Structure 1
Amino acid sequence: SAPLCTASRISLLTGRYFQRAYLAGRGIHESETTMAELFRDAGYRTGVFGKWHIGGPPWDPQGQGFDEFVGHRVGAIDNYSHFTYWAAVPQHALLRGREPYREDGTFFPDIVTRESIDFLTRHRDTPFFLFVSYNQPHYPMQPEERFLRQYDHAQGARRIYGAAVTSLDDKIGQIVAALDEQGLRDNTIIVLMSDNGHSEEPQGIGGSAGPFRGAKKSLFEGGIRVPCVVSWPGRIPRGQVRQQIGSAMDWLPTLADYCGLDTSDLALDGRSLTDVIGGDAPSPHTALHWTLATQWAARQDAWKMISRGDTMFLANLHDDPGESRNLANDRPDIISRLRARHEAWVATGIKPIYTVESP
């Protein structure tokens, strides 16, 4: 839903375009209902462990419906000292709830994994909503030596990035194994996804968007198209792929549908994907929209347009998923149609928030 982490997380938790739900520089608008609030009000225990990055009190996890939190509210921390060095003054950033928490020298993803497993074990006899927000492979990438050794064939940033992803895979596997051990796996929905495309920031390189153009902070597909895996044994088809377009903001209504929760009183931009996942139905979206400062993008069916000031870019993603050819001059009719879509969307109250960096 956005090529940046805070914006994408806001859409995920609210089911809304982040431009509607975000109080710039603060957090999620108080008028919004988060996924945690929805599930907590339905009797679920709620926990988030890892990276928050959607504001401090009253916009912190406790202010947004989470009963438990261990992690950091900033964009990045060192995985062993738990200090953030990406601020004007370096400071210790690890928290338990709203209180400082010290566990110096413990690998932060191990803390996230341990706390997540403890949460699901303590609440195995009650419904729970668990948001696990790992900070790897976000910088600083500090994978364990045992995983680095698996990538001795690679060099430089790719070796470190590969090891960080494998470390992440190991931690996710531990949580899934804990669900099995507690007899919860068949009654638990797991959604695995990223918030935005890989980083090209100097301290975070090593990732790849494969055939797609762009990266984090870009409205090309490499910045906004991310992998997503959903699992629910016996209820969701296994080993199948869906190509229909969806968005992070679709997960609130989708999970609410699966769990039988009423969202009729919520103003949502997201749409339930249950028919897409279960029956390969068409996408519930007629169009999707993105903004990044003065840039914007709109997609309808296979056509996607990016506006960068006076420059228009148009691609047919079915024919050219890598966005290598600009068809703006060839199809002015599509440009006009998508511009009208964008203007109608903006007229509903959309305002640009973030600054932009050229891809």
Structure 2
Amino acid sequence: MYLLNKTMGLVLLILSIGFQTVTAQQINDGDRPNIIFIMADDLGYGDLGAYGQELIQTPNIDALANAGMKFSQAYAGGPVCTSSRSVLMTGLHNGHTVARDNVPHYPSYLQEGDVTLAQVLKNAGYSTGGVGKWSLGDAQMEGRATNMGFDTWTGYLNQDHAHYYYPSYLDHDDRKILLSDNPILRNNYSHDILTNATLNFIRENSKKPFFFYSAYTVPHFSAPEEDEHGLTVPSTYPYTDKDWPEAAKKYAAMIYRLDKDVGKIVKLINELGIRENTLIIFTSDNGGHSNAWKGFKTNGKLKGYKRDLYEGGIRVPFIASWPGVIPAGQQSDEVIGFQDMMPTFAGLSNASIPENIDGVSVVEALKGNALPENNRVLYWDFGHTRQRYDQAVRIGDWKGIRRGQGQPIEIYDLAGDVSEQHNLANAHPELVNKIDKLMQMMVIPSPRYPVGQVYKGGPIWKKDW
């Protein structure tokens, strides 16, 4: 990770250099694994049995954790959908990546010349596919998935389209899959289509190295006109008879379907005989939503929710399984983030990566080892064009948060206060000053995200039914 003097001259210099490449040679070509990256949408840190959930059953995801490793300190790229996906795809943190918030709405966030994780692996000879919510470029735009390294993509290119689980169409590569009268008849639940597309891709590409990105949309809320609780699901099974609010049953049923389909993916790669050479990662794009039933404790002991820069908004479940390489049944307390996936996967695939990315390889952490000591700084921000602009920095076990421009910085020692209950700013003025400077230095200003100018626009995508 690099620190940048916040001057426009340096910004322009950096932007003019462009991306050069370096090659990560960590394993032999014959040992390159398939990589399946499964990401839920708005699934909280505490929503899985492996992370302490007691009411919602997630046996297949828990089995994946038992067969591999769960990370206790894994961070999403941002506290909302678009920024988190952008960090994952570009290897650049929230202050550098091209898409930094869900608003303003743009038809394309990624531009020609941006380098994505999918492009890195495709250039290394991998087949690349994905399903679900893309968010980084609409149909026909330069930032669409199939123009950014994916051989195929099925789902929602636009994130507002993804608010409908019974849509009239889904995007598929450069065309549409028409689902006539689906909003009325409700014959095709989109999550089921995404799983079928995932399984088909794995079958068709099982004889060669592949990367697959399952960006599932459950349990993200749906459009209110589609479901009175904003949680569209075909059935509340197996929680129909629970003495819970109806919305809670629906939320749990969405996670049930997600867990069941993770089981289908694992079952298929076992049947195809490729399990020993397949890395599977399961995670979430940000913290759980504040609307989730409080009985579930969606974010466990963590403070805050989606859209917050407290731990509940950005710390996510992260499970990695690769038989024979990743130790089974272990927990890693190493600090990792979505920006680390690009250099990590490049190291596993002998791929070339852009210089000046913020991520670092965490291959050693996947193997159960400690990462080398470093002075790494993790950075997030949110609300550039909203009513309040927030920033957060983590250095070692220290976390600094500023909730609004000009507001005091809060300081927390995450080693002993993961719930962020004890603000230690008054006891550490020198640390407050250091984090204040870092909050200025870690951001390359973007004309697309003018801080303090409240966005007045609305979604670009409009439903056609």
* Partner residue in 1 for 2:90: 14
* Partner residue in 2 for 1:60: 144
* Partner residue in 1 for 2:329: 239
Checking the alignment, whether the CA contact within 8 Å between 2:94 and 2:379 is kept in structure 1 is no
- Residue 120 of structure 1 aligns to a residue whose secondary structure is helix
TM-score, normalising length from structure 2? Answer: 0.69
The separation in 2 between residues aligned to 1:229 and 1:42, in whole angstroms, is 25
The AA in structure 2 aligned to 1:342 is: M
For structure 2, list consecutive stretches of 5 or more residues without a partner in the other structure.
Answer: 1-76, 223-230, 455-465
Checking the alignment, whether the CA contact within 8 Å between 1:160 and 1:206 is kept in structure 2 is no
**Distance change (3 Å), C-alpha of 1:282 and 1:322:** farther
* Partner residue in 2 for 1:94: 170
The AA in structure 1 aligned to 2:249 is: R
* Partner residue in 2 for 1:304: 399
Checking the alignment, whether the CA contact within 8 Å between 2:347 and 2:363 is kept in structure 1 is yes
The equivalent position to 2:190 in structure 1, one of 88, 108, 117, is: 108
- Once the 2 structures are TM-superposed, how far is the Cα of residue 284 of structure 1 from its aligned partner? 5.3
The separation in 2 between residues aligned to 1:31 and 1:286, in whole angstroms, is 27
Alignment pair present for 1:321 and 2:418: yes
- Once the 2 structures are TM-superposed, how far is the Cα of residue 277 of structure 1 from its aligned partner? 2.3
* Partner residue in 2 for 1:353: 449
Residues 317-345 of structure 1 deviation map (CA, whole Å, 9 limit, x = unaligned): 11111011222122212111222222332
Percent of aligned positions that are identical: 28
Checking the alignment, whether the CA contact within 8 Å between 1:21 and 1:32 is kept in structure 2 is no
The equivalent position to 2:157 in structure 1, one of 66, 73, 77, is: 73
The separation in 1 between residues aligned to 2:371 and 2:265, in whole angstroms, is 31
Residues 201-232 of structure 1 deviation map (CA, whole Å, 9 limit, x = unaligned): 599x9772110111111110000000101111
- Once the 2 structures are TM-superposed, how far is the Cα of residue 349 of structure 1 from its aligned partner? 5.3
Checking the alignment, whether the CA contact within 8 Å between 1:21 and 1:28 is kept in structure 2 is no
The AA in structure 1 aligned to 2:356 is: A
The equivalent position to 1:172 in structure 2, one of 246, 256, 262, is: 262
Alignment pair present for 1:34 and 2:141: no
- Residue 20 of structure 1 aligns to a residue whose secondary structure is coil
Bigger RCO of structures 1 and 2 (CA < 8 A, at least 6 apart): 2
The separation in 2 between residues aligned to 1:158 and 1:146, in whole angstroms, is 9
Aligned pairs, number: 345
With 276-285 and 126-135 compared, the bigger mean Cα shift is at: 276-285
The AA in structure 2 aligned to 1:275 is: E
Alignment pair present for 1:45 and 2:134: no
Residues 126-167 of structure 1 deviation map (CA, whole Å, 9 limit, x = unaligned): 211111111100112333426343662433333222221111
* Partner residue in 2 for 1:271: 360
The AA in structure 1 aligned to 2:256 is: T
The separation in 2 between residues aligned to 1:329 and 1:98, in whole angstroms, is 55
Residues 35-85 of structure 1 deviation map (CA, whole Å, 9 limit, x = unaligned): 111111111111111111112111111111111111012222322x31xxx
Checking the alignment, whether the CA contact within 8 Å between 1:199 and 1:207 is kept in structure 2 is no
* Partner residue in 1 for 2:341: 251
For the aligned residue pairs, the C-alpha RMSD in angstroms reads 2.6
Runs of 4 or more above 6 Å deviation: 354-357
